[in-house]
Structure 1
Amino acid sequence: MINQFSILHNENKKKHVESIVAMAVYQADNAKWLEESIESITSQSYTDFLFIIVIDGPVPGSITQVLNTATMSDNRIVLAQNSHNMGLASSMNSAIDFGLAFEPSFFVRMDADDISEQHRLSRQITYLKKHSNISVLGSALTEINESGKKVGARVMPASHKQITRILPRRCSLNHPTVIIRYNVFLDGHRYNDDLLNTQDYFFWITLASQGYIFRNLKDRLLKFRRVNNFYKRRGLSKSLNEFKARIYAITKLKQYSPYNFFYACGVLSLRLMPGKVVKLAYKLDRHLLERFGKH
């Protein structure tokens, strides 16, 4: 089905911006969290960006009101809409393509229920300017609950070597924290819009196999919303896609170890178990990531 991507509101007068920030908004999003998320971007200490918010399918009036209020108060916000629900990958690809006209250098990911720290963009973009070899830059994050209270953290491995070594076993970048150099898209790469989930995991594997360099900052530059049903989110479709991504990583990155194959099968089995078991495994995973991140 062909997506009819259209611009609903655009008061931007600039012909060039350094960065494109992109967010997709859905029917089930929380209006209060969306407002906080948008404000965390518009109040950044770094200001040279265009903020593209894509409405992916029909949304309730409470969401529309938050979006209309935001666009009226900041002319850096461009409000766009898909003709129907297309998914995150398609929404991000449309934002990427729209942003090309402004000749940006960086593409910034943001989700509608997370909160960026005030100096997030400044910290990451300054780092990318100093390290021209890095194409994809993520960061650590703080996990918060529905009330905004800290409930955990997620620190990913920092070096390119460790990020790519772990890819056959897990997605080693926090997608909502990522900034991608626009050269990646000028080279022709996009998210796979046939995927309704795990699109970031497949994307990193493809880029890693093409020789692009990754890095994670240890700074916790984003507050990630971890809600009560977090451990129950992965249904059969996402679990199977994660399994396929791990096999894809093993083959594309040529990491054919028995451990990697065993891990892929083990995680698939685990995903289908009760939420309490998944929760226990998630805590163990956080502990192992902390160990890998300390280097």
Structure 2
Amino acid sequence: HKIALFLCDDDVCIDTKCINFFCPAVKHSLKYIFTASSGLPDFPEFVVAAVVDGNLLVYCDGSKKILEPKLDWVKKLFENDPHQLEEYKGLCFHVEPTYFKATINSLKHRFNQSGGVHILQRISGCEWDDETGEIIGFNQYGYDGEDFISIDLKTETWIAPKQQAVITKLKWDADKARMKYNQNILTVIFPEWLKKFLDYGRSSLLRTDLPSVSLLQKTPSSPVSCLATGFYPHRASLVWRKDGEELHEEVDHGEILPNHDGTFQMSVDLNLSSVTPEDWTRYDCVFQLSGVKEEIITKLEKDRIRTNEGKSEIILNNTNK
């Protein structure tokens, strides 16, 4: 079974690939990720994550009644604003678990499922461009790793990509109060919270950290991987160039992945099977962090490459930063 969205705690990590949601490079984002499960005895029945710009702020296990701020400044925010903390507890421990459990049971019946493992997720939030002021609100559901239903604020309707979601779409389209509620919370309330988080956690959320960049190669015949790790924010690019021109062929771009310390890492592989050693000097790897003018340029030189031959420990430590 595929699981739809990003959610990580010390013991829980869910993939990000199955539900698409907005992530433009220049916008700040606030996402509330709700995950309910059925048929997984060793997995929480209901968890919630609050995420700002890819940073996990709050993790909540509704089954165990655990609500845990993940960053020091979030703990201080809750201390100064106990009302908001109580709102989170009510949302996670009482209101949403009941709703999600009932919804899973309804969907199992609608999909003609009697048992097995099932995952229902919702991601709601907003993105805000601090230069243009543009706000985009989103609210969408996924069931068993596939899109189920999502809101379209422009047309004030719901989008149902699956036949089983049409019943829900028709019901929610007719509920004008529900639409007005979503418009208000997604485009007014959430942006206010996002701006408050960015202001309160400014030293953490609005910082810029440049990465260390390494060239790695498993064997002499393997592609050369350019790895950048330790950068923040996640809005960054990493490319291979030849004679100053970005390469699109013979390269394989990896995903931007989170590190345990709140920074990010990414890599891009270059296939050198058709490149002669004499031409290596024509290639370089270029890292660019959003908001930072200077590029980090790493030239493709033999003595810069770390390989598995006698240096496996160095490579392992570097890739796990």
TM over 0.5: same fold?
Answer: no
TM-score relative to the length of structure 2: 0.25
Larger RCO (alpha carbons 8 Å, 6+ apart): 1
Which of these two proteins has the greater Rg computed from alpha carbons? 2
Q: Which has the higher helix share?
A: 1
